Amino acid sequence: MPITLQAGGQLGGFTLIEPLHEGGMATLWRVAHPGHALPLLMKLPRIAYGETVNQIVGFEVERMLLPVLAGPHVPRFIDAGDDGDQPWLVMEHVAGQTLLPLLEGTPVAPDRVAALGALAALALDNLHRQQVVHLDIKPSNLLLHAPQGGDERIVLIDFGLSHHARLPDLLAEQFHVPMGTSPYIAPEQILGIRSDPRSDLFALGVTLYHLATGHRPFGFPGSVRGLKRRLYQDPEPPRSLQPDVPRWLQEVMLRCLEVDPDARYPTAAQLAFDLQHPEQIVLTERAERSRRSGTLARTRRWWKSIGLEPEALRAKVPDRAHAPLIMAAIDLKQRDPALDLALKDTVQRLVATAPGARLACVTVMRTARIGLDSNLDAEGRNRHVKRLVGLRDWARALDLPDHRITFHVLESADVADALIDYARSNAIEHLIMGARGVTGVRRLLGSVSARVAAEANCTATVVRARALTNTATEPGNPMPAGAIEPS
Amino acid sequence: MRIGLLADLHANREATEACLETLSREGCEQYVFLGDLVGYGADPGWMIDTVRAHVDDGALAVLGNHDAAVDDPQASRMHAQALAAIDWTRAQLDESQRAFLRELPLQATQDDRLYVHANAWEPAAWGYVHNPLAAHCSLMATDRWLTFCGHVHDPALYYTGAVPGEAAYFQPEYGMPIPLPPSRRWLAIVGSCGQPRDGNPAAACALMDTARKQLTFLRVPYNHARAAQKIRDAGLPAALADRLLTGA
């Protein structure tokens, strides 16, 4: 017999304050507890007679996963329990609104769509690093949180359909119908694959497409047959629906919506990177597409889709290590041939081992600490362009194709800060930089590389030129040759 | 409460010491020995004395087929090497040690948990839980929420799922706490401490946090070369030593 919930009531030591939402799957209450200062939310699955097993399992899955998730892009788990027949789950009540209301005001400006997309992709990257695929990404599960005095970020909610690579999947054998929300569900997910992080990139692509154009790329099908149509029918190119959508955004969205997961972005980090640096996106035929493909191409894809075996797709789920974002920090002002060579050699070896790796070449242009001289504008631009030219020249020997390399000139008063910040906001996996010998001044002030290695939130490799190392270190205390990797 | 679980220890002192040390460091307040304390390994006397001391201290222990075979070689059908090891073992034990084995229960329950060496449906017949069907039979034969067993040497986790007539299977990852939802029923094979057979020579054991309802499977590296050498020195079949080196 389900217990009745009312304001002022108690459940598991929590006081029920007010109901917030009466959803199809669960009821949400604002609750309080003397031991917790955070605003709290209690989720209670609907267990009344007639509710489907699916809802209960979804709740079970969320209750299993939330305690093992961490970081700024998921609500904090507080407690869970069962009182009588009523299971409940308490988590942090994150302030903010989901992206759902934005669908009322479509089309949303392309820049805003890209900015929201980048925030969502960074959140997904964080989740995927925790070995979880969300599998129900849609506007109502992307919560935009703007903390006071902080940068806005996306918090992912509702993990009822999620999959953890290292935990039992209670949903895997549960149902033989596709699980997900019909407009957003990825093709491989329709076939029962629950382990591919790129399924979330497809769903995010649907979300961005809807925001940017006001239309759903695959409609709102209500049958499995309708769902399967997206396996062979490509969406209307966004620019044909909304000419204001720039080519680069069409490129990004259509790449997310590729049927073959291998044709999408390999990681959410790479998607976030492109959305944050649109000027460096390499445009392909996708950007120029102005209509759907013809009957012949569609029929061909339809035939192909009939033969798609989930087992074959399951085997294709990639290891994220194959597609890292690598950042090379380059000092163009004080170049040292031996160090240059050692740095390039390390970068080359790293890029060569990961076929999906992308390299961001970054340099920092020092600016005055206080004030900005407006009459220096033109000169500043000139210096900026010079640095870009310098970066391209530096990277020429690496011989990487355009889609695998980008160039960035940062401006900052503090070089280490700029590099650390760039690595964080771009979800860089591995930062490589050179270290010069330890001169008197450096020994006193501490070097940039030492600070970056200590403070960056990614793996950092500090490269030294061997010849320099020998002269710069004290006898009897040789520095390690090559790289150190505090990861 | 944190419970440390060890199964199929097989008189391997080095493996057992390493697992007990790890579990104690993880804050275990109770130990459960899931049978097959002896057989195959070179330290049966030490093993029984150690387990007996833990049992006096509140630990639980159940009988395994190798333990039963010490007094009754017909208790379980065994291959020649296992029988040879049991004959050797019998000669190493004094009467009180043999009495300890004889008096071990086939199964034990504690709160919502069942501890048994082989399975819950007929513990004394030593049938293996080696597939989802057998796991289903075992889960149906007990009203406890969580069953721990051994006998099968490879770690595994089974639970009641949606497919009628068989349990769902999960291959555990080591060191990852697995939340066990109370709405399902679970059967965990903790893996062999004293004679791993999955290609990894490290000893297996598990840690159950009853308050958090989280189960962690562990692998503990130990000096398996020394354990193997002692088997050779004892004159036991060389194959029993070799398999400790490869974990196969």
What digits encode the pLDDT tens for the residues A403-440?
999 999 998 889 999 999 999 999 999 999 998 765 55
**Beta strands, E only, A317-384:** 325-329, 358-366
pLDDT at A174 over 70: no
Q: How confident is the model at residue A158 (pLDDT cuts 50, 70, 90)?
A: very high
Supply the mean pLDDT for chain A.
Answer: 86
Burial string for A280-316 (b: 16+ CB within 10 Å, else e) reads bbeeeebbebeeeeeeeeeeebeeebeebeeeebeee
Q: What is the ipTM of this complex?
A: 0.88
**A·B CB contacts under 8 A:** 37
Cβ-defined contact of A170 to B181 (cutoff 8 Å) = yes
Residue A247's CB: how many other CB atoms inside 10 A?
16
* Site of tokens 């990894």: B200
Closest partner CB to A63 (pick from B170, B176, B181): B181
Residue B156 bridge partners (DSSP): B189
> Which residue would you say has higher pLDDT here, B5 or A473?
B5
pLDDT at A294 over 90: no
- Which tokens belong to A273? 């990177």
**Which strand ranges, in their side-by-side order, compose the sheet holding A36-45?**
A10-11, A14-22, A26-33, A36-45, A86-92, A77-83
CATH 3.40.50.300 describes domain B2-246: no
Query: Half-sphere exposure (CA, 13 Å, Cβ side) for A434?
Result: 26
Q: How far lies B235's CA from each of A324, B38, B42, B181, B245, in Å?
A: 54, 16, 9, 48, 17
Closest residue of B to A165, CA-based?
Answer: B173
Angstrom distance (rounded) from CA A206 to CA A238:
11
pLDDT at A472 over 50: no
Q: Which residues of B touch A87 (CB under 8 A)?
A: 183
Closest residue of B to A61, CA-based?
Answer: B181
pLDDT at A78 over 90: yes
Q: How far is B37 from chain A (nearest CA, A)?
A: 30
Spans of chain B below 70 pLDDT: none
Closest residue of B to A81, CA-based?
Answer: B182
Q: Is residue A478 classed exposed, middle or buried when 0-12, 13-18 and 19+ CB atoms within 10 A define those classes? A: exposed
Tell me which of A103-107, A173-177, A392-396 is least confident. A173-177
Cβ-defined contact of B159 to A168 (cutoff 8 Å) = yes
Chain B residues within 8 angstroms (CB to CB) of chain A: 157, 159, 161-163, 168, 170, 173, 176-179, 181-184
For chain B, how big is the Rg over CA atoms in Å? 17
Residue type, A164: H
Closest partner CB to B179 (pick from A53, A64, A175): A64
- Name the DSSP class of B242: H
Closest partner CB to A64 (pick from B161, B173, B181): B181
Give the DSSP H or E segment for A405: strand A405-412
Asked whether A470 and A438 are in contact (CB, 8 A), the reply is no
- What percent of chain A is predicted at pLDDT more than 90? 59
Mean per-residue pLDDT, A334-353:
89
Q: Which residues contact A472 (CB under 8 A, 6 or more apart)?
A: A437, A438, A439, A479
Q: Tell me the pTM.
A: 0.87
pLDDT tens digits for range A59-76: 989 999 999 999 999 999
For chain A, how big is the Rg over CA atoms in Å? 25
Q: Which residues of A touch B163 (CB under 8 A)?
A: 173
Task: Give all domains of chain A, ordered by start, each with its CATH number.
Answer: 10-92 (3.30.200.20), 97-319 (1.10.510.10), 324-484 (3.40.50.620)
Closest partner CB to B162 (pick from A63, A167, A174): A174
- What percent of chain A is predicted at pLDDT more than 70? 87
Cβ-defined contact of B177 to A68 (cutoff 8 Å) = yes
pLDDT at A486: 43
Strands A430-434 and A325-329: parallel
Angstrom distance (rounded) from CA A121 to CA B219:
36
Asked whether A114 and A107 are in contact (CB, 8 A), the reply is no
- Which tokens belong to A210? 């809807």
Distance of CA A416 to the CA centre of its chain: 24
Angstrom distance (rounded) from CA B91 to CA B191:
28
Cβ-defined contact of A168 to B177 (cutoff 8 Å) = no
> Which residue would you say has higher pLDDT here, A207 or A320?
A207
pLDDT at A485: 43
pLDDT at A443: 53
Q: Which residues of B touch A63 (CB under 8 A)?
A: 179, 181
Closest residue of A to B216, CA-based?
Answer: A167
Chain A residues within 8 angstroms (CB to CB) of chain B: 53, 56, 60, 63-64, 67-68, 82, 87, 166-168, 170, 172-175
- Which tokens belong to A157? 């909610």
Hey, which of A56-60, A79-83, B148-152 has the most confident mean pLDDT?
B148-152
Q: How far is A60 from chain B (nearest CA, A)?
A: 7
Asked whether B205 and B19 are in contact (CB, 8 A), the reply is yes
B137-140: Cβ within 8 A, 24+ apart:
B138/B187, B139/B167, B139/B185, B139/B187
Helical H runs in chain B? Answer: 13-25, 44-56, 65-71, 80-92, 95-102, 132-140, 224-233, 238-246
Q: How far is B30 from chain A (nearest CA, A)?
A: 25
| Mutation site for B-interface testing, chosen from A52, A68, A69 by largest number of B Cβ within 10 Å | A68
Q: How far is B206 from chain A (nearest CA, A)?
A: 16
- Which tokens belong to A106? 């479509």
Q: Which residues of B touch A53 (CB under 8 A)?
A: 162
pLDDT at A473: 45
Q: How far is B192 from chain A (nearest CA, A)?
A: 21
Q: Which residues of A touch B173 (CB under 8 A)?
A: 166
pLDDT at A95: 95
Helical H runs in B121-222? Answer: 132-140
> Which residue would you say has higher pLDDT here, A330 or A319?
A330
Query: DSSP labels for B52-69?
Result: HHHHHTT-EE---HHHHH
pLDDT at A318: 73
Domain ranges for chain B: 2-246
Q: How confident is the model at residue A304 (pLDDT cuts 50, 70, 90)?
A: confident
* Dihedral angle of Cα B88, B94, B95, B97, to the nearest 10 degrees: -90
